[in-house]
Amino acid sequence: MGIGVDVVDLARFERALSRTPALKTRLFADAELSVGERVLPLRSLAGRFAAKEALIKAFGESGGIRWHHMQVVSDSHGNPSFQLTDAAAEVAEHRGITAVHLSMSHDAGVAVAYVVAESS
């Protein structure tokens, strides 16, 4: 149904979060900021932001989706996926999207995310 990719410059992302501390809570749900007791580092948050941007591209529309409607979660092995709620879930259903695949990485000052949205 769609693919999306996004790249985030880590230094630029860090400056944005430093200038506007409330940005972190606007972009991420509390559950996205840590894994267990471990607070996620900046590079991981940048990857999650890139993932959300890539998801919008894979959907082909934003349809009223807010940042908290698409949460990046990890399974017990650390594999990332999305938890879609509200408008994000509605857009996926409306477009017939039945599965969303996510891959993220970070290196050399950038974070990247790749999303594939498919239907059955």
Instruction: Tell me the pLDDT tens digit for each residue of 15-62.
Output: 999 999 999 999 999 999 988 788 899 999 999 999 999 999 999 988
Q: Structural domain tally of the chain?
A: 1
Q: What single-letter DSSP state applies at residue 15?
A: H
Whole-prediction pTM value?
0.95
Give the CATH number, domain containing residue 19.
3.90.470.20
By residue range, what is the domain housing residue 92?
2-118
Residue pair 27/46 in contact by the 8 Å Cβ criterion? no
Report the C-alpha gap between 37 and 3 in whole angstroms. Answer: 33
